[in-house]
């Protein structure tokens, strides 16, 4: 019998051996790849169609996101209302998302209903009409949403810092305007859909407790699509035209009492040899609640409710960003403390106790990400879409467990040069 008077042994998260469950990969008749992960105990399945149809491919602003959003709003056979009623009847959920490089359509449902729902998804992706009245409603709603968002300093700051770092013509740096929404035309969406969905490039990710024969069902409907196998990936994102000026102070609201602070610099993508090590440095610096920035600027100074740093989740190129909102009168002091923490990491070694906390946090977070088939597939999807292999996962784990204080200091000295960072305050 279990003796409950004896506490369980405490084991450091960093001592766990993490295993990434294997993926089964199948190629359809037309060359479309399916990545399958059978795991979990719940009778649910997630199917995600990932198209190379992000805003990197559009010639007119907002066409990619509008196409992705409206692809569900009516086909040649069914209205948007009928489509929504169909998925609701089966307790299913169909989500659309558009990013810089890719656009996705994701189905979540009970596995026993997958065979019924997959043909409906095919109808949506293959026969979407993009009705003029649906586009009109979308344009009106998005203009209203944008008008409200532009009054918020954090929203404006997020738009502007990307423009400074990448340039407003780069897919990572451009942003929407009221005029862009007003100019959207149905013909643009139809053309974009034809090029990048019907005749584009697609990868399908399937995870959960998979029903028998799901590969054959997907092959039946999606195996005959005229998908391209040779499309150039992300053709324009590397065209970076960063701003020459490094410091910006923007007044968005004369009466505003809070300022949005963004400090950012260019950073290579996941293929760079420093990437995994910098993820450790970033976590220590500002990547979790116990980070240097949080301890100083929130806990000690009380300038903000929260501050964090992160590497943007882009594929072709990326940036290292520090973000927070602080009282208008302490924005400059906050920025000063950020650079102060950078300088400490450049000049002083991290002690082993703090580094152990960071290791345990990072390994613990990955353990959480491996809990459940959808989270595991998310890890795999990140690896595959970035052109990596599972070796990247295990190499990252090894870096977290073995990186030294000396290596962290060398990285800090390499990347924490004040002159390389853009500063923005929007009040």
DSSP 265-291: EEE--TTSTTHHHHHHHHIIIIISTTS
Q: Are 206 and 218 in contact (CB under 8 A)?
A: yes
Residue 236 lies in a domain: no
Tokens, residue 173? 């740096």
How does residue 240 score in pLDDT terms, banded at 50, 70 and 90? confident
Q: Do residues 288 and 177 share a domain?
A: no
Of 424, 38, 366, which is closest to residue 213 (Cα–Cα)? Answer: 38
- Average pLDDT of the residues in 328-349: 98
Q: What CATH code is carried by the domain that includes residue 211?
A: 3.30.830.10
Q: Do residues 254 and 216 share a domain?
A: no
Per-residue pLDDT at 14? 67
Q: Are strands 258-267 and 202-208 parallel, antiparallel or unpaired?
A: unpaired
Look at residue 1 and tell me whether its pLDDT is greater than 80: no
Q: Do residues 81 and 142 share a domain?
A: yes
Q: Do residues 162 and 202 share a domain?
A: yes
> Collapsing DSSP states into helix, strand and coil, what is residue 209?
coil
pLDDT digits (tens, 9 = 90+) for 136-192: 999 999 999 999 999 999 999 999 999 999 999 899 999 999 999 999 999 999 999
pLDDT digits (tens, 9 = 90+) for 11-53: 776 677 889 999 999 999 988 999 999 999 999 999 999 999 9
Residue 134 sits at the vertex; the CA angle it makes with 133 and 136, to the nearest 5 degrees, is 60
With a pLDDT cut of 90, the percent of the chain lying above it is 88
> What CA–CA distance (Å, rounded) separates 327 from 33?
50
Q: Do residues 415 and 308 share a domain?
A: yes
Per-residue pLDDT at 256? 87
Look at residue 226 and tell me whether its pLDDT is greater than 60: yes
How does residue 369 score in pLDDT terms, banded at 50, 70 and 90? confident
Lowest mean pLDDT among 9-18, 34-43, 320-329, 377-386: 9-18
Q: Are 303 and 297 in contact (CB under 8 A)?
A: yes
Residue 12 lies in a domain: no
Residue 237 lies in a domain: no
Whole-prediction pTM: 0.92
> What CA–CA distance (Å, rounded) separates 405 from 403?
7
Count other Cβ atoms within 10 Å, centred on residue 345: 20
Look at residue 236 and tell me whether its pLDDT is greater than 80: no
CA distances from 353 to 288, 350, 358, 359 (A): 16, 8, 9, 10
What is the average pLDDT value for the chain, to the nearest integer? 94
**Domain range spanning residue 263?**
247-426
Partnered with residue 108 across adjacent β-strands are: 46, 93
Q: Do residues 152 and 51 share a domain?
A: yes
């Amino acid at each position: 019998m279990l003796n409950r008077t004896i506490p369980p042994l405490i084991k450091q998260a960093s001592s766990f051996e993490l295993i990434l469950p294997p993926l089964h990969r199948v190629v359809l008749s037309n060359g479309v790849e399916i990545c399958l992960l059978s795991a979990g105990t719940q009778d649910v399945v997630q199917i995600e169609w990932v198209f190379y149809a992000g805003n990197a491919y559009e010639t007119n602003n907002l066409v990619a996101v509008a196409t992705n959003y409206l692809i569900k709003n009516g086909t040649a056979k069914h209205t948007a209302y009928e489509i929504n009623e169909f998925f609701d009847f089966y307790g299913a959920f169909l989500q659309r998302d558009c990013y810089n490089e890719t656009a996705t359509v994701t189905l979540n449902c009970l596995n026993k209903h997958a065979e019924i729902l997959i043909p409906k998804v095919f109808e949506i992706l293959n026969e979407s009409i993009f009705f003029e009245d649906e586009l009109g409603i979308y344009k009106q709603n998005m203009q209203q949403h944008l008008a409200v968002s532009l009054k918020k300093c954090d929203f404006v700051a997020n738009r502007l810092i990307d423009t400074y770092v990448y340039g407003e013509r780069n897919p990572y740096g451009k942003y929407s305007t009221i005029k862009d929404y007003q100019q959207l035309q149905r013909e643009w969406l139809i053309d974009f859909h034809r090029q990048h969905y019907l005749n584009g490039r697609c990868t399908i990710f399937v995870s959960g407790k998979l029903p028998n024969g799901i590969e054959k069902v997907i092959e039946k409907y999606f195996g005959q699509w005229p998908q391209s196998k040779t499309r150039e990936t992300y053709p324009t994102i590397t065209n970076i035209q960063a701003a020459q000026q490094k410091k910006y102070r923007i007044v968005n609201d004369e009466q505003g009492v809070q300022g949005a602070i963004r400090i950012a610099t260019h950073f290579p993508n996941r293929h760079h040899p420093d990437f995994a090590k910098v993820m450790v440095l970033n976590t220590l610096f500002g990547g979790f609640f116990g980070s240097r920035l949080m301890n100083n600027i929130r806990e000690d100074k009380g300038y903000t409710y929260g501050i964090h740093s992160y590497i943007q989740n882009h594929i072709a190129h990326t940036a290292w960003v520090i973000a927070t909102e602080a009282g208008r009168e302490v924005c400059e002091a906050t920025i000063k403390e950020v650079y102060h923490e950078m300088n400490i990491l450049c000049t002083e070694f991290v002690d082993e106790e703090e580094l152990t906390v960071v290791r345990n946090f990072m390994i613990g977070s990955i353990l959480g990400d491996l809990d459940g088939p959808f989270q595991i597939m998310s890890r795999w999807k990140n690896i595959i879409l970035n052109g990596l292999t599972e070796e990247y996962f295990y190499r990252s784990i090894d870096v977290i467990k073995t990186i030294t204080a000396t290596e962290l200091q060398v990285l800090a000295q390499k990347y924490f040069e004040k002159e390389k960072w853009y500063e923005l305050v929007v009040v």
